[in-house]
Amino acid sequence: MFTVKQDGLFDAPHEAVVIGLFDKNQPLSGIAAKWNEQLNGQLTILLKEGDISAKKKRISKVHTLGQTAVKRLYFVGLGKEEKLTFEVLREAFGKLFKTLKEAKLTEVAVALDTFTNERIDANEAAHALSEALLLATYQFAGYKQKTNEPEKKLENIAIYTEADQSEIEASAFVGRVYGKATNSARTLVNTPSNLLTATDLANYAVKLAQKYDFEYEILEKDDMEKLGMGAFLAVNKGSTEPPKMIVLKYQGKETWENVIGLIGKGVTFDTGGYSIKPRESMVDMKTDMAGAAAVLGAMEIIGELRPEQNVVAVIPATDNVISGDAFKPDDVITSMSGKTIEVKNTDAEGRLILADAITYAKHHGANYLIDVATLTGGVIVALGVHTTGAMTNDEALFEQLLEASIETGEFIWRLPITEKDKERVRSSKIADLNNSPGREGHAIMGGAFLAEFAEDTPWIHLDIAGTSVTSKEHDLGPAGATGVMVRTLATLVERFE
């Protein structure tokens, strides 16, 4: 898809050439000035009249009318040069590729060096370019009957730069891996639950393991009963679909030590159980496995890039439905850790399956734990739909994750867990823990409950209930699943110290 070149930008007959434009309030310079010369100064006139804009993320198109070998020029507004960040650049590229997709272009050239500043070099720009291409043009295929008319796609991008060709190719590859894996997670989350059961999710994970030579394990219901995974099995009791505990192991070091555990909630559909959700709240509960999708997406990146780290991924997969056998409020269940739990709310099921998954990740040698889950509506009330809630018991681990989230533009905000919060989840009079001690601080209660199973192991909880899907199209994708935390988790693993 990408070819890197140093010469020929002004001579090759491209469908379009893309140029970055900073708001400098001065005459056109560099590559833009050369195009201006070829077009007899017309770009200067168009810039003055506002037909070309350097405002941030503004896309301007100019037809060359046969004056050059190139048919069109696309200018991408980057705003003030000193304010350009990686995230702004990636979003600008995303908006560009949406525009090019609508124009049904099949090949373009990008003057990459026009998208750099003192903080963003050509390698970072290449990463942003390739990642944005995959993210912005993603569409969930769906299940409508297809027409026979083939869709035109942007298949060839020539990157022109004075930077080292091999380094640019490597950076573009990494960006492509990040974008593709995020889209893989999006597709899993967008898939209806009748077509993505726990078994289907396990089969997907096995294919991933076979492709990237991961060690894997799929626990069946009998295995879980022998291991005493009573919390996970309680949630599955009402279902005719068998549960699966999915484990993927990637060993990037000679010895199995300093292992990072990634745990993803895999509830393929959540009715709420006997604490049943209202009709409006039950729609889109196919997305309740977005945590599992994030972990699988991160493992795809890890499989492609092969970092020198050890990682174990653990995904408890089941649905939460109602039958005569389903678990009920007031039930008392025993988790794999031995801790007993009084069930006050069967719609607080995610923390139950994660409890056993966290214990099992430690069983596989995880020295650090990061769980990802669409856990609570409370986090949306607290932080809205653009910020992921986070809780932790370890400052150093959290700082590394925070840096990764800033780098990827997947913003997180830390919520506290106080001693009073811990007392609330331990408030049951007949069991060790209460799975839902009240609506107040609901998101924090979910995290505090999981902290009881992390115990002294460094741990972070990420509540993506608000960020895993979006109702609006945006610069880097359509409405629907976002694939949030795929890139943050992978970046954490790559940079982990």
As given in the structure block, the two tokens for residue 196 are: 């993505």
Q: Which residues contact 55 (CB under 8 A, 6 or more apart)?
A: 23, 77, 79
Q: Are residues 263 and 355 part of one domain? A: yes
DSSP string across 315-353? EEEEEE--STTS--TT-EEE-TTS-EEE-S-TT--HHHH
Asked if residue 169 is part of any domain, the answer here is: no
In tens, the pLDDT along 321-377 reads 999 999 999 999 999 999 999 999 999 999 999 999 999 999 999 999 999 999 999
Q: Report DSSP letters for 63-94, one per residue.
A: E-TTSSSSSEEEEEE---GGG--HHHHHHHHH
Are 186 and 150 members of one domain?
A: no
The alpha carbon of residue 107 and the mean position of all alpha carbons in its chain are separated, in whole angstroms, by: 28
Could you tell me if residue 480 is inside a domain?
yes
- Residue 171 inside a domain? The answer is no
pLDDT for 435:
98
Helix 395-408 and helix 486-495: axis angle, to 10°? 120
**Do 276 and 322 form a contact (C-beta atoms < 8 A)?**
yes
441/342 Cα distance (integer angstroms): 19
Which of 114, 138, 163 lies at the terminal end of a domain, its last residue?
Answer: 163
Q: Which residues are annotated as a binding site for Mn(2+)?
A: 265, 270, 288, 347, 349
Provide the total of helices (H) and of strands (E) in the chain, helices listed first.
16, 20
The reply to whether 100 and 219 lie within a common domain is: no
Same domain, 114 and 66: yes
How many angstroms separate the CA atoms of 208 and 371, rounded? 20
Cα–Cα distance between 331 and 275 in angstroms, integer? 13
For residue 84, give both structure tokens: 């350009």
CA distances, 375 to each of 182, 223, 257, 449, 461 (Å): 20, 26, 29, 11, 10
Alpha-carbon separation of residue 24 from 61, 229, 259, 273, 288 (angstroms) = 19, 62, 49, 59, 47
For the record, the structure tokens of 87 come out as: 């995230």
Q: Considering the domain boundaries, does residue 426 fall inside one? A: yes
Looking at residue 91, its amino acid is E
Scanning the structure block, which residue is given the tokens 């027409």? 147
Could you tell me if residue 174 is inside a domain? no
Same domain, 102 and 241: no
CATH number at residue 130: 3.40.220.10
The one-letter amino acid at 302: I
Question: Taking each helix axis from N to C terminus, what angle separates 86-102 and 122-136, rounded to the nearest 10 degrees?
Answer: 50
Look at residues 321, 224, 325 and name the one whose alpha carbon lies nearest to residue 277.
321
Residue in 351, 479, 469, 461 with CA at minimum distance from that of residue 413 = 461
Instruction: Give the pLDDT of residue 155.
Output: 87
CB of 298 closer than 8 Å to CB of 493:
yes
Residues 184 and 261 in one domain: yes
CA 153 distance to own-chain centroid = 24
Give the strand pairing for 72-77 and 16-21: parallel
Q: What CATH number is attached to the domain comprising 269?
A: 3.40.630.10
Please choose, from the candidates 283, 317, 313, the residue with its C-alpha nearest in 3D space to the C-alpha of residue 197.
317
pLDDT in tens, 439-451: 999 999 999 999 9
Among candidate residues 163, 194, 212, the one where a domain is terminated: 163
Which stretches within 191-237 are classed as H helix?
198-212, 221-227, 230-236
Do both 143 and 220 map to the same domain? no
Domain end (from 163, 197, 225): 163
Domain shared by 343 and 407, yes or no? yes
Which residues participate in catalysis according to the annotation?
A: 277, 351
pLDDT tens for the chain, residues 1 to 497:
899 999 999 989 999 999 999 998 667 889 999 999 999 999 999 999 999 999 999 999 999 998 999 999 999 999 999 999 999 999 999 999 999 999 999 999 999 999 999 999 999 999 999 999 999 999 999 999 876 677 788 989 999 999 999 999 999 999 999 999 999 999 999 999 999 999 999 999 999 999 999 999 999 999 999 999 999 999 999 999 999 999 999 999 999 999 999 999 999 999 999 999 999 999 999 999 999 999 999 999 999 999 999 999 999 999 999 999 999 999 999 999 999 999 999 999 999 999 999 999 999 999 999 999 999 999 999 999 999 999 999 999 999 999 999 999 999 999 999 999 999 999 999 999 999 999 999 999 999 999 999 999 999 999 999 999 999 999 999 999 999 999 999 999 999 99
Residues 409 and 287 in one domain: yes
Whether residue 168 is contained in a domain is answered as no
What is the rounded CA–CA span in Å between residue 114 and residue 116? 6
Same domain, 108 and 242: no
- pLDDT on residue 474: 97
Whether residues 392 and 261 fall in one domain: yes
For the chain, the domain total comes to 2
Domain housing 327: 180-495
173 within domain boundaries: no
**Cα(181)–Cα(300) distance, rounded to whole angstroms?**
6
Looking at the structure, tell me whether residues 325 and 429 fall in a common domain: yes
Binding residues: 265, 270, 288, 347, 349
Domain contains 413: yes
